[in-house]
């Protein structure tokens, strides 16, 4: 335990909250359900954004921006969509305040909107209403657009990053001439997400599709990547939806195809959000604080001088200045903390809390010996290495740390995919081990719902390329052709 952080074993949920607060990532605001993302937390989001944005552009997408508000009537045009979002949306009804004459500021009832506006919970409706004006012919397709935006889904119980009434995300919305092309796009973006979450966030994922109960409101098929947290609960890390022609039909978006025939346009949408920061924290961090993968860490290397006097410090600083230049030339994000107001031990604890992957300590004896002391945040190993060639040593070590953090999470995840062949075994595993439980299910929404009610576990996904296997549903005993992954989830 460090700096008042509850240990994971004692209370995982409280541990999570402590980490978010103590590491200065975010805090609750005075607006119910809305968070303030503090500079350190936001810098993580910026690093994520920058990688994802580049990947979106490399796959041919452009960014655009659509209105925050959606007329209520748009929202209702796709039946299952409104069903999915109507119960949790912020509604704008007026456009002016006024002074009531007694010095109180009140809503001006004369400024009531003719039609209420919904603060976007997602933008399919407003975007497809816009696409109607952009698409006439197959030559106008595909449209490959992404938006970085804030969205609002009114939540009664909130948790920082994981579930907040307002959150930041990106939402891709693409339009295609054929079903095949739209499905390819849906799968391509799922791969982009999986690549990002595994190779940048160092969090292994299972790729799959959702059962009908868990599908996006308005989708034909929802693809997802599911990650496992250290407490054995799953977290949906990203979704990519094949929307078929549902939104094109709701908003009357048609095009003339190559054969001169008029048909409805095919759609996808896909998104990841600031929720990923929650996943990043819960996948790797420990009782001392954050553990960040080097590729996303705002600071990758911190250098702390251990000196007795000004003369020591001057020698150390001279060496460090040269080292920093070399590290920056290798695009390594490095910070030199020579504050004289804090002791080294205080600084060590602070950077452990903040999850800086690599710490370098340099004292007078190190300078004599031509060495430095390195400390890895992930394994907490310390070792002395030569100053000679230190820059490339560090570059390699950061890559090694990135791999090692991923491997650790992968080992944990792989050891937490367990088969269960009866409801008893299923509950036993959920309660005592957690993780993904591969079990047979009869394929009906009713059974999934009953299992959820009895066990709080949901089908996280039907893995892609799932092997076929004859079996019987753990609840109903009805025949089943494949196991699906259940878990309790965030």
Site residues (CB under 8 A) for a second copy?
A: 27, 29-31, 34-39, 41-43, 45-46, 62-72, 74-76, 82, 86-99, 105, 107, 116-119, 126, 129-130, 133, 145, 149-150, 152, 154, 166, 168
Residue 25 to residues 18, 178, 461, Cα–Cα distance (Å): 10, 43, 30
Report d(CA 33, CA 28) in Å as an integer.
7
Nearer to a second copy by Cβ, of 100 and 338: the residue is 100
Place of tokens 């690549």: 195
Q: Which is nearer to a second copy, 68 or 288 (CB)?
A: 68
Residues in the chain: 490
Based on the number of CB atoms within 10 Å of its own CB, is 32 exposed (0-12), middle (13-18) or buried (19 or more)? exposed
| Strand, coil or helix: 254 | strand
Give dist(CA 271, CA 147) in Å, integer. Answer: 9
Q: Which is nearer to a second copy, 101 or 309 (CB)?
A: 101
Q: How far is the CB of 47 from a second copy (least distance, A)?
A: 11
- In which residue are the tokens 């799959």 written? 208
Nearest distance from residue 14's CB to a second copy, in Å? 20
State the minimum distance, in angstroms, from the CB of residue 349 to a second copy. 18
With a CB cutoff of 8 Å and minimum separation 6, the contacts of 227 are 197, 203, 204, 205, 206, 234, 235, 236, 237, 279, 283, 413
| Residue 251: CB minimum distance to a second copy, A | 10
State the minimum distance, in angstroms, from the CB of residue 115 to a second copy: 9
Which residues, at least 6 apart from 212, have a Cβ–Cβ distance to it below 8 Å?
445
Identity of the residue, 81 or 210, whose beta carbon is nearer to a second copy in the bound complex = 81
DSSP assignment of 119-164: EPSS-HHHHHHHHHHH-SBGGG--EEEEEEEEEE---SS-BTTTB-
Cα torsion 376, 379, 383, 389: sign = negative
CB of 373 to a second copy, least distance (A): 29
Q: List C-alpha distances in Å: 289 to 204, 246, 252, 399.
A: 21, 45, 52, 21
Q: How far is the CB of 456 from a second copy (least distance, A)?
A: 25
CB of 295 to a second copy, least distance (A): 19
**Dist. CA 397–CA 382, nearest whole Å:** 13
By beta-carbon proximity to a second copy, the closer residue of 12 and 154 is: 154
Q: CB-wise, 156 or 468, nearer to a second copy? A: 156
Q: Which is nearer to a second copy, 98 or 456 (CB)?
A: 98
C-alpha to C-alpha distance for 285 and 378, rounded to whole angstroms: 8
Query: What are the CA-CA distances from residue 21 to residues 9, 281, 292, 379 (Å)?
Result: 19, 12, 16, 23
* Residue 363 dihedral angles phi and psi, to the nearest 5°: -115, 180
Q: To the nearest 10°, the Cα dihedral for 61, 64, 69, 75?
A: -30
3-state class (DSSP) for residue 440: strand
Query: Would you say 36 or 314 has its CB closer to a second copy?
Result: 36
Q: How far is the CB of 155 from a second copy (least distance, A)?
A: 10
> For a second copy, which is the closer residue by CB, 107 or 423?
107
The C-alpha atoms of residue 330 and residue 6 are separated, in whole angstroms, by 37
Least distance in angstroms from the C-beta of 87 to a second copy: 6
Closer residue to a second copy (CB): 48 or 145: 145
3-state SS string over 91-106?
EEEECCEEECCCCCEE
User: At closest approach, how far in Å is the CB of 381 from a second copy?
Assistant: 31
Structure tokens at 198: 């595994």
CA separation for the pair 285, 202 (Å, rounded): 12
Nearer to a second copy, 332 or 367 (CB): 332
């Amino acid at each position: 335990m460090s700096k008042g952080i509850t240990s994971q074993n004692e209370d995982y949920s409280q541990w999570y909250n402590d980490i978010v607060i103590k590491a200065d990532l975010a805090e609750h605001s005075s607006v119910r359900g809305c968070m303030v993302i503090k500079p350190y937390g936001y810098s993580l989001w910026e690093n994520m954004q920058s990688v994802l944005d580049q990947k979106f552009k490399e796959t041919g997408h452009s960014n655009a921006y659509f209105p925050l508000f959606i007329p209520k009537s748009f929202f209702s045009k796709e039946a299952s969509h409104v069903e999915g979002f109507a119960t949790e949306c912020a509604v704008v009804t007026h456009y002016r305040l006024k002074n009531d004459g007694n010095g109180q500021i009140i809503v001006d009832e004369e400024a009531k909107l003719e039609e209420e506006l919904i603060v976007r919970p997602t933008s399919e409706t407003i975007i497809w209403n816009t696409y109607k004006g952009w698409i006439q012919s197959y030559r106008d397709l595909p449209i490959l657009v992404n938006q970085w935006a804030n969205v609002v889904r009114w939540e009664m119980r909130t948790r920082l990053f994981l579930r907040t009434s307002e959150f930041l995300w990106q939402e891709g919305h693409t339009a295609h001439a054929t079903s095949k092309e739209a499905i390819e796009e849906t799968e391509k973006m799922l791969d982009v997400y999986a690549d990002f979450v595994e190779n940048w966030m160092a969090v292994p994922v299972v790729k799959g599709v959702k059962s009908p109960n868990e599908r996006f409101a308005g989708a034909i098929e929802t693809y997802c990547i599911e990650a496992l947290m250290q407490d054995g609960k799953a977290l949906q890390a990203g979704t990519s939806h094949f929307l078929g022609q549902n939104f094109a039909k709701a908003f009357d978006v048609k095009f003339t195809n190559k054969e001169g025939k008029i048909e409805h346009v095919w759609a996808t949408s896909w998104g990841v959000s600031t929720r990923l920061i929650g996943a990043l924290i819960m996948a790797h961090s420990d009782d001392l604080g954050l553990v960040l993968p080097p590729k996303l860490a705002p600071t990758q290397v911190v250098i702390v001088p251990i000196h007795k006097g000004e003369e020591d410090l001057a020698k150390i600083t001279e060496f460090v200045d040269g080292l920093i230049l070399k590290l920056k030339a290798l695009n390594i994000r490095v910070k030199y903390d020579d504050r004289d107001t804090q002791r080294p031990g205080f600084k060590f604890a602070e950077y452990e809390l903040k999850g800086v992957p690599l710490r370098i300590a340099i004292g007078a004896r190190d300078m004599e010996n031509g060495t430095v002391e390195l400390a890895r945040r992930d394994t907490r190993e310390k070792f002395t290495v030569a100053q000679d060639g230190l820059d490339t040593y560090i570059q390699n070590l950061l890559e090694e740390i990135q791999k090692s953090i991923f491997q650790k999470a992968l080992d944990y995840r792989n050891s937490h995919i367990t088969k269960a062949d009866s409801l008893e075994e299923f509950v036993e595993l959920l309660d005592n081990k957690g993780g993904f439980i591969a079990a047979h299910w009869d394929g009906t929404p009713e059974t999934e719902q009953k299992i959820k009610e009895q066990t709080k576990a949901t089908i996280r996904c039907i893995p892609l390329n799932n092997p076929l296997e004859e079996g019987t549903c753990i609840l109903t005993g009805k025949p089943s052709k494949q196991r699906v992954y259940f878990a309790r989830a965030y």
